[in-house]
Amino acid sequence: MENLDSDVSADIVRLLGQELKLVRAQLREAQLRNNTPATEASSYEDTCRERLRMLIDDVAVLKRENEDLRATVFQLESERSGFVKPEDMDGSVALRYEASLEQSRKELSKALAEKADAETSLSELQENLQAVQEEYQQMKASKRECQQVADEHCKRVMDLADELETLKREQASLACTDTDPESFFSSTTYVAVEGQPDLDTSDPYIKSPFFKLPEHAISLCAEGVLHYNSKQLMWSPSGVALGLVVTHPFQFNPKVGSGQWTKWRAEIMDIGVKKEVFCLNTRGWFYMGTYERASSCLTMPVDKLKDLDPKARYIFKRTVLNQDFIPPSQTRMVENMYTQGVLKVELFGIRCVGFNQALNAELIRAGNEKRSKPPRTLQGIPILTPEDSWGRKGPGGKKRKRSDGAGRAPKGKNKKVKAE
């Protein structure tokens, strides 16, 4: 009985020590795994520390009880050495031993239950940590999407700001004030540019009324091109380095529905833009130079329209498209709209700032090359116009007749008709 008691006490002490080491190892592992600033990890660490302190206290109690057991074992061994029989053992010692054993069993069960609880808490903490990590990844993805949307909105705001500046410049260019050509030419300064043509004595680079640039000349017009009829231009009395473009603000198209008025800005040069300007007169097309806009939008007063009668009539005519589709009364109505001030003739100044010598040389070269080509022929026979073929004999020896009956002599008469 005495050997059994000492063995049981030693086993209990050994088991308690192993359980204590296991709990401490699990606590250290949990602390290493859950080293995070999260609130759950901090609370769990505090709980584990509290439990550790309790276990340390329990170990101290067990140590005291172990000492008591050692004393009891020592007493029992002393009694056994004195051949004390079990039936002669003091009953109080046996009861005290049984009570201590029962207490040790309860504490062991409690420690095992706490261990199970710690394992359960650790598993829950790991699940919470995984959920927090997944939520963090989702928040990072959401942040990237928000950043992309913010970048797109910033780009849109910058585009809108650019559009606003453009609209402001257009609005400034559209703000018109009344003026007359004399006051504009006298108040606007300019510098004469060398190389500009004399519209009366210089040769045009092309005599066709249709505007066309040679292929190699197009690449030399980096700033862009504007071409005008001489009826749209008013030059300064001092020369062609300063001028006014006469244009119409609206255009009427009778073929769209029952007639449609649209804004006409195709011939207007924006402020700050430079372009190559070409002019057509009765002799052909001339390259005038590189021009910039020299004024805001100007309007011609109604009482001054008579001063530019040919140019005003040209603008009246250009205001209406497809004039064959409208009656003369509607054309006169448009003229009355100008003369009564409903529509106004717009002007804007242009000033020469340079002369593209390379472009001018290319235009002269292309014009000389075109003029030096021989006339078109077919198998060596000159191509005749219908007027040239009137009165000539055909293949059958018969005289060709005009399809309109002109050139025929009256029947029964060979007399010449006197021209009146």
**Entry field: residues in the chain:** 420
Percent of the chain with pLDDT strictly greater than 70: 76
Q: What is the mean pLDDT of the chain?
A: 75
**CA dist., res. 374 & res. 383, Å (int):** 13
Whether the pLDDT of residue 111 is over 70: the answer is yes
- For residue range 344-357, list pLDDT tens digits in order: 888 888 999 999 89
The residue whose two tokens read 């593209």 is 356
pLDDT score for 315 = 83
pLDDT score for 379 = 44
The residue whose two tokens read 């005289």 is 399
pLDDT score for 412 = 45
pLDDT score for 408 = 45
pLDDT band, residue 87 (cuts 50/70/90) = low
pLDDT score for 278 = 92
pLDDT band, residue 291 (cuts 50/70/90) = very high
pLDDT score for 352 = 92
Whether the pLDDT of residue 394 is over 70: the answer is no
Q: Which helix (H) or strand (E) holds 184?
A: helix 181-187
Q: Tell me if 204 sits within 8 A of 210, measured CB to CB.
A: no
Q: Tell me if 350 sits within 8 A of 189, measured CB to CB.
A: no
Angle at 17 between CA 13 and CA 21, to 5 degrees: 170
Point out which residues pair with 235 in neighbouring strands. 243
Angle at 350 between CA 347 and CA 354, to 5 degrees: 170
Whether the pLDDT of residue 168 is over 80: the answer is no
- For residue range 231-276, list pLDDT tens digits in order: 888 898 888 889 988 888 888 888 887 778 888 776 777 777 889 9
Q: List the chain domain ranges.
A: 2-143, 177-375
- For residue range 42-64, list pLDDT tens digits in order: 666 677 677 777 877 877 787 78
Two tokens, residue 320? 């209406």
Judged by average pLDDT, the poorest of 17-31, 40-54, 177-191, 286-300 is 40-54
Q: Residues 6 or more apart from 70 whose CB is under 8 A from it?
A: 9
Two tokens, residue 158? 């910058």
Q: Summarize the confidence of residues 206-230 as an average pLDDT.
A: 83
Q: Summarize the confidence of residues 87-100 as an average pLDDT.
A: 67
Whether the pLDDT of residue 403 is over 70: the answer is no
Two tokens, residue 106? 């309860």
pLDDT score for 419 = 35
Two tokens, residue 182? 């004399």
Q: Summarize the confidence of residues 5-18 as an average pLDDT.
A: 69
pLDDT score for 197 = 85
Whether the pLDDT of residue 413 is over 50: the answer is no
